[in-house]
Amino acid sequence: MTLPNSEQEPAKSWQSQLRAIQDIPSLYSAGRLDLDNQEAAQQAHELFSTRVPQDFLNRIKLGDKNDPLLLQVLPQAQELIKHADFTPDPVGDQASIKAEGVLHKYHGRVLLITTGACAIHCRYCFRRHFPYNESHIGGKRLDAAIDYIRDDPSISEVILSGGDPLTLSNENLHRITDRLNVIKHIKRLRIHTRIPVVLPDRVNSAFIDWISSIRQQVSIVIHANHANELDKKVQSTLESLHQTGAVLLNQSVLLKDVNDSTDTLIALSHRLFECRVLPYYLHQLDRTEGTVHFNVNDDTAIELISHLRNTLPGYLVPKLVRENTGQQSKTPL
Ligand SMILES: *Cc1c(COP(=O)(O)O)cnc(C)c1O
Ligand code: SF4
């Protein structure tokens, strides 16, 4: 749903859109929500701050506290619930840091934490406790990351992740990929980003030029959990990314009350394909402190995915996986 007046407003730069809604009162008022029970929500906000771009909010149903997009960004009292199985670093990222900002867990591919910043703060995020400030490849640390990659010829793919790499300026993105371009054994460059979905204005022509400057084959893994996230503007953004020749994939997280129904997941797959994106992973929630209320149990997850398999062509069925510490890959369920 479009907010009144949004069409009359002058276009804002994507940088200013990054500083959209960042406090609970603004979020409640933008979503036309009753100002109830804010104390607990405020505590949740203090543990992991609120951040939502206006474009994403434009797609929620105003006044509906159960809107599947709103639930992904609204700080809630349930985040304060403690559970022994839900810990600050459930996937063992700390143990796989090989140089500052370099995660090398799986054969042949390394993941670079390019920044700690995101355009949106997803309440279920497994990196909500990640100590980004100490571990990303900003500034001089890029040299060490490049050395690590250059010295290991078994690495054929570099994944730009974060945070969200698209919060970086195009200049900073060039700084990274210009260095990767000259490393012969890197054949593929992958970009993990939620920004084409949550802040499509970021994908401007200078950004498209950056993609075209990359020597490797490019894949872009976006992150959408619900078909409502993929409105017309997002669709045309994804189409322009597709035209660069990049392969577009999607990862979702299975989230209670957001997308834990077959109808919702089927609609998402259909909508992704309309936007030229193939479903890649459906992640079982990483058991991160503060996210218990999003958890869907494995039996339900397996049932959902087998229903999808019986309904959709194989290429529209995402792989249902969980990340287990110490495994050689994500683990299929
Ligand atoms: C998920 C992940 C990858 C990518 O795994 P794929 O199965 O290739 O998508 C790479 N590195 C790390 C640290 C990851 O968590
Ligand atoms: S965009 Fe990705 S990394 Fe950032 S908060 Fe959301 S899920 Fe986490």
Which amino acid, residue 319? K
- Pocket probe for ligand 2: among 18, 194, 222, 250, the residue whose CB has the most ligand atoms within 8 Å is 194
- Tokens in use for 7? 């069409």
Using the structure block, give the residue that is written with the tokens 């017309």. 232
Over the stretch 8-32, which tens digit does the pLDDT of each residue have?
A: 455 789 999 988 899 999 999 999 9
Query: Could you identify the atom of ligand 2 that is nearest to the CA of residue 192?
Result: 2
Q: Is 122 in the pocket of ligand 2 (CB under 6 A)?
A: yes
Q: Determine what percent of the chain is predicted with pLDDT higher than 70.
A: 95
Residue 249, φ and ψ in degrees, nearest 5: -130, 160
Q: Return the ligand 1 atom nearest residue 96 CA.
A: 13
Q: Tell me the chain's radius of gyration from C-alpha atoms.
A: 19
Residue 63 has a pLDDT of 94
Q: Pick the atom of ligand 2 nearest to 118's CA.
A: 4
Report the nearest-CA residue for atom 6 of ligand 2: 122
- In angstroms, the Cα distances linking 224 to 59, 184, 328 are 13, 33, 25
Whether omega before 245 lies within 30 degrees of 0, making that bond cis, reads no
Task: Tell me the HSE value of 265 on the side-chain side, using a 13 A CA sphere.
Answer: 33
Q: How confident is the model at residue 274 (pLDDT cuts 50, 70, 90)?
A: very high
Residue 204, pLDDT above cutoff 90: yes
Q: Is the CB of 52 under 6 A from ligand 2?
A: no
**Long-range contacts of range 59-63, CB-CB < 8 Å, 24 or more positions apart?**
59/1, 59/228, 59/229, 59/231, 60/1, 60/31, 60/228, 61/1, 62/1, 62/3, 62/31, 62/32, 63/31, 63/32, 63/33
Domains with residue ranges and CATH for the chain: 13-80 (no CATH), 94-332 (3.20.20.70)
Of the pLDDT bands very low, low, confident and very high (cuts 50, 70, 90), residue 267 is very high
Strands 102-106 and 97-99: antiparallel
* 257 Rama sector, left if φ>0, alpha if ψ -120 to 50, beta otherwise: left
What are the phi and psi torsion angles at 332 (to 5°)?
-70, 145
For residue 221, give the ligand 1 atom closest to its CA: 9
**pLDDT in the model for residue 137:** 87
CA dist 333 and 330 (Å) reads: 10
pLDDT, one tens digit per residue, over 36-64 is 778 999 999 999 999 999 999 999 999 99
pLDDT digits (tens, 9 = 90+) for 278-322: 999 999 999 999 999 999 999 999 999 999 999 999 999 999 999
CB 69 within 8 A of CB 59: yes
pLDDT tens across 130-172, in order?
Answer: 666 667 888 889 999 999 999 999 999 999 999 999 999 999 9
Going by CA atoms, what residue is nearest to atom 8 of ligand 2?
125
Residue 113 has a pLDDT of 94
Of 74, 110, 290, 123, nearest in space to 192 by CA: 110
Looking at the DSSP bridge assignments, the partners of residue 251 are 223, 281
How open is the CA angle 104-102-139, to the nearest 5 degrees?
170
pLDDT of residue 5: 47
Task: Say if residue 170 is exposed, middle or buried (CB neighbours under 10 Å; 0-12, 13-18, 19+).
Answer: middle
Q: How far apart are CA 290 and CA 224, in angstroms?
A: 21
Go through 94-129 and write b for each residue having 16 or more CB atoms within 10 A of its CB, e for each that does not: eebeebbbbbbbeeebbbbbbbbbbbbbbbbbbbbb
**Cα(280)–Cα(207) distance, integer angstroms:** 24
User: Which H or E run includes 206?
Assistant: helix 205-212
